[in-house]
C-alpha cells in the first residue's frame, strides 16, 4: 500500500460549483443595486456591504477552487483498491484482535514514565515524526504541522487540530499531550494532501504512520485506531469489548485513561456543543450527510485494509 498513492490534487467532480456561483450572482445584483440607488447614504452603505460580500465570496471561491472540491473526488477506498462493505461483528472483532495484538507489541517499543504513561518527545519532534512518515509515503517533502499558541482555548471546544486551506496550514492543539498527538498531526497533513473527508483523513493518517512511521508514530497510529474501534465493539458485543480491553497491556490502558481524563473535562460544555454543531453543519454542507459521525467511518476503511 505504501506506494505514494495519494495524488497531489484529487479534484474530479464539480458539485460544489453551485456554492461558489450563487454568491457571485448575488454579488452582481448587489453591486447593481449599490450603484443604482437614488439615496447617497444608501449607495454608500450598499457599496460597503458589497465589498464585504465580495471579500467573503473571494474567500469561499478560493476555498472550493483550491481544496473544497476534493470532497467530490473518488473515494480513498477506490484509489487504494479497498473493498468497503457492511462488515459482520466477527470481522470487526477479528480486526480488533489484530489491532490489540499489534498495539501491545508497539507499546513495548516506546519509552514510558513512572506512572506507566507514554513518554512524549515534545510537540516539535512529534510533528516532525508525522511529517517524515507522510513524506516517506507520498515521496515528497512535507512541512510539519504548527502548534497553536493558545491551545488551551481549542481544548474547550475539544478541537485537536484544524486545517486552513487558504494558507495550507496544519494547526494542532498542543495541549493534547496524549498518545494520539502524532496521529492528529498526520490527520491535518493529509488534509493538506487534499484528502478532505474526515474518515479518509483519519485512515490516511493511520496508514502513513503505520507503514512509514518510527516506533512512536506507529504506536500513535494503532492507539488512535483503537479509539475509533472501541465504541463500535461496545455496541456490537459488549462482553467481547470488556475481554479485549483487559487484554490490552498496562501501558496501553494507562494511555487510554490519560486520554479520557484529559478530554472528559471538556465534553458536554456549552463551548464544546457549539463547536460540534458548527463542525457538523460544515461537514453536512460538504456532502457528508452524517456530519461529525463521519470521523468514525474510518473503521470501515480500517477493517477493509486488514482484511485485504
pLDDT at 35 over 80: no
DSSP 189-200: HHHHTT--SHHH
DSSP 114-182: TTS-B----HHHHHHHHHHHHHHHHSS--PPPEEPTTHHHHHHTT--EEEETTTTEEEE-TT--STTHH
Q: What value does the mean pLDDT take over residues 139-145?
A: 90
Which of 43-57, 77-91, 270-284 is the most confident on average?
A: 77-91
| Digit-coded pLDDT (tens) for 156-183 | 888 899 988 878 889 999 999 899 999 9
For residues 84 and 301, the answer to whether their CB atoms sit within 8 Å is: yes
Q: What is the dihedral of CA 265, 186, 153, 270, to 10 degrees?
A: -50
Q: How many helices (H) and strands (E) does the chain have?
A: 13, 3
Asked if the model's pLDDT at residue 283 lies above 50, the reply is no
Task: Give whichever of 50-64, 72-86, 121-135 has the largest mean pLDDT.
Answer: 121-135
In angstroms, the CA 182 to CA 184 distance is: 5
Grid cell 504541522 in the structure block, residue:
145
Q: What is the mean pLDDT of residues 14-30?
A: 54
Percent of all residues in the chain with a pLDDT value above 90, rounded to a whole number: 47
Cα 281 to Cα 202: distance, rounded to the nearest angstrom: 19
pLDDT at 287: 52
What pLDDT score does 36 carry?
61
How many Å apart are CA 38 and CA 43, to the nearest integer?
7
**6 has a pLDDT exceeding 60:** no
Of 73 and 120, the one with more pLDDT: 120
Average pLDDT, the chain: 81
- What is the distance between the alpha carbons of residues 126 and 185, in angstroms, rounded to a whole number? 8
pLDDT the model gives residue 291: 46
Sheet of strand 169-172: strand arrangement? 146-147, 169-172, 161-164
Per-residue model confidence (pLDDT) at position 156: 86
Task: Pick the more confident residue, 63 or 225.
Answer: 225
Cell of 242: 470488556
- Measured CA to CA, the distance from residue 223 to residue 260 in angstroms comes to 13
- How far apart are the C-alpha atoms of 89 and 266, rounded to whole Å? 32
Tens-digit pLDDT profile for residues 169-221: 899 999 998 999 999 999 999 998 888 888 899 999 999 999 999 999 999 99
Closest CA to 236 of 115, 92, 133, 53: 92
Confidence of residue 34 (pLDDT cuts 50, 70, 90): low
> What is the percent of the chain with per-residue pLDDT over 70, rounded to a whole number?
71
Please, what is the Cα angle at 197 between 229 and 121, to 5 degrees? 60
For residue 10, what pLDDT band results from cuts at 50, 70 and 90?
very low
Q: How far apart are CA 86 and CA 302, in angstroms?
A: 13
- What does the pLDDT read at residue 74? 82
Residue 107 binned pLDDT confidence (cut-offs 50, 70, 90): very high
Whole-angstrom CA distances from 32 to 27, 42, 47, 192, 291 are: 8, 13, 10, 38, 37
pLDDT of 147 > 60? The answer is yes
Amino acid at each position: 500500500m505504501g506506494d505514494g498513492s495519494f495524488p497531489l490534487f484529487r479534484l474530479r467532480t464539480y458539485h460544489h460549483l453551485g456554492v461558489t456561483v450563487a454568491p457571485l450572482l448575488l454579488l452582481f445584483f448587489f453591486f447593481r443595486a449599490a450603484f443604482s440607488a437614488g439615496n447617497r447614504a444608501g449607495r454608500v452603505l450598499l457599496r460597503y456591504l458589497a465589498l464585504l460580500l465580495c471579500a467573503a465570496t473571494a474567500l469561499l471561491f478560493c476555498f472550493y477552487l483550491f481544496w473544497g472540491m476534493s470532497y467530490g473526488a473518488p473515494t480513498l477506498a477506490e484509489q487504494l483498491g479497498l473493498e468497503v462493505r457492511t462488515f459482520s461483528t466477527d470481522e470487526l472483532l477479528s480486526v480488533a484482535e489484530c489491532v490489540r495484538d499489534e498495539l501491545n507489541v508497539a507499546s513495548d517499543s516506546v519509552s514510558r514514565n513512572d506512572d506507566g504513561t507514554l513518554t512524549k518527545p515534545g510537540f516539535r519532534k512529534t510533528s516532525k515524526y508525522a511529517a517524515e512518515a507522510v513524506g516517506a509515503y507520498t515521496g515528497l517533502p512535507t512541512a510539519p504541522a504548527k502548534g497553536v499558541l493558545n491551545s488551551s482555548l481549542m481544548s474547550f471546544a475539544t478541537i485537536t487540530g484544524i486545517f486552513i486551506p487558504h494558507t495550507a496550514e496544519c494547526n494542532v492543539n498542543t495541549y493534547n499531550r496524549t498518545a494520539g498527538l502524532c496521529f492528529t498531526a498526520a490527520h491535518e497533513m493529509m488534509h493538506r494532501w487534499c484528502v478532505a473527508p474526515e474518515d479518509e483523513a483519519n485512515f490516511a493518517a493511520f496508514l502513513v504512520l503505520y507503514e512509514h512511521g518510527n516506533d512512536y508514530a506507529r504506536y500513535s497510529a494503532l492507539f488512535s485506531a483503537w479509539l475509533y474501534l472501541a465504541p463500535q465493539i461496545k455496541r456490537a458485543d459488549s462482553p467481547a469489548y470488556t475481554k479485549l480491553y483487559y487484554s490490552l497491556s498496562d501501558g496501553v490502558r494507562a494511555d487510554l485513561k490519560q486520554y479520557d481524563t484529559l478530554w472528559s473535562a471538556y465534553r458536554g460544555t456549552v463551548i464544546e456543543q457549539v463547536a460540534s454543531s458548527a463542525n457538523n453543519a460544515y461537514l453536512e454542507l460538504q456532502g457528508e450527510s452524517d456530519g461529525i459521525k463521519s470521523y468514525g467511518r474510518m473503521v470501515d476503511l480500517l477493517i477493509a485494509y486488514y482484511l485485504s
